[in-house]
């Protein structure tokens, strides 16, 4: 009986969340996206602000529907600006959580997603960066890297998940150097290493339903900061990746 109740409640919560996410965009936010596209002097910034508000409202609803889940997001994380954020990746919720936290945000997205109707248009107009699968010197990549240095200097954040995919067992996977190459080419002066814990307990990889009946804590904490010296003869991309990985692993230890 209890198991059946949990499944029914998880199903209702899941349907309510994704119905809000889709219909909320179509019925309300789509008008503002169109208005910003046609009339905003800075489309990219306007789209990022709309993305932030849409996802912030989604997480407000999620908190209401799953009251047993406690959210602990450190002030150090909330206050990050002008940085490349390096984080572990546990759940589909991770990237949209970062969008909800930062009004000015970009990330690296698989190139195929830019070809999706509507979704690709929003990704592109919001200034998200295509992955290196198209090649480091593709026109889209060159334009984005040129813009990133000014974007970061102006207070924006670029968040990346160097594992490239969600962890299935919580263990830290192999890092792809592509995201770190972009950080170096954009001359990012600050890398913030952020540790995410337990988002996979709320929305596990490979599962359609949210775990809305469970009680646990989702933690998002600053594991450390890196200030790479790109001009130093001893600088190496592999060393930077190893430092970021070490910080994430240290933070994960009890």
Q: What is the pLDDT of residues 25-53, one digit of tens each?
A: 888 899 999 999 999 999 999 999 999 99
Domain total of the chain: 1
What is the Cα–Cα distance from 81 to 76, expressed in whole angstroms?
10
3-state secondary structure of 206: coil
Tokens 């307990």 belong to which residue?
201
Buried b or exposed e, range 223-238, using 16+ CB within 10 angstroms? bbebebeeeeeeeeee
Q: What is the pLDDT of residues 79-91, one digit of tens each?
A: 999 999 999 999 9
Q: Show the tokens assigned to 74.
A: 């450190």
Residue from 143, 139, 132 nearest 176 by CA: 132
Residue from 162, 165, 168 nearest 237 by CA: 162
The residue range of the domain holding 143 is: 2-252
CB contact at 8 A, 132 and 144: no
**Residue 188 sits in a domain of what CATH number?**
3.40.1130
Using DSSP, how many helices (H) and how many strands (E) does the chain show? 10, 7
Residue 243 confidence (pLDDT): 93
> How much of the chain exceeds pLDDT 90, in percent?
59
Residue 220 banded pLDDT, cuts 50, 70, 90:
very high
Q: Show the tokens assigned to 231.
A: 């001009």
What is the Cα–Cα distance from 75 to 202, expressed in whole angstroms?
22
Counting Cα atoms < 13 Å in the Cβ hemisphere of 92 gives: 11
């Amino acid at each position: 009986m209890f198991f059946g109740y949990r499944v029914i409640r998880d199903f209702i919560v899941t349907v309510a969340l994704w119905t809000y996410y889709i219909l909320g965009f179509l019925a309300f936010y789509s008008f503002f996206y169109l208005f910003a596209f046609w009339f905003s002097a800075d489309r990219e910034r306007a789209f990022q602000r709309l993305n932030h508000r849409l996802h912030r409202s989604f997480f407000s609803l999620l908190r209401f529907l799953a009251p047993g889940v406690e959210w602990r997001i450190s002030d150090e994380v909330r206050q990050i600006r002008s940085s490349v954020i390096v984080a572990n990746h546990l759940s589909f919720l991770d990237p949209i959580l970062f969008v909800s936290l930062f009004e000015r945000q970009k990330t690296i997205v698989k190139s195929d997603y830019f070809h999706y109707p509507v979704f690709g248009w929003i990704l592109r107009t919001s200034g998200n960066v295509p992955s290196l699968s198209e090649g480091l010197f593709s026109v889209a990549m060159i334009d984005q890297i040129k813009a990133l240095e000014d974007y970061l200097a102006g207070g924006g954040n670029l968040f990346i998940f160097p594992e490239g995919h969600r962890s299935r067992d919580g263990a830290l996977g192999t890092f792809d150097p592509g995201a770190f190459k972009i950080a170096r080419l954009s001359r990012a002066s600050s890398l913030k290493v952020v540790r995410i814990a337990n988002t996979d307990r709320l929305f596990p990889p490979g599962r359609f339903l949210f775990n809305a009946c469970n009680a646990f804590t989702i933690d998002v904490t600053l594991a450390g900061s890196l200030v790479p010296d790109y001009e130093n003869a001893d600088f190496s991309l592999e060393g930077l990746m190893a430092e970021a990985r070490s910080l994430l692993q240290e933070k994960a230890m009890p």
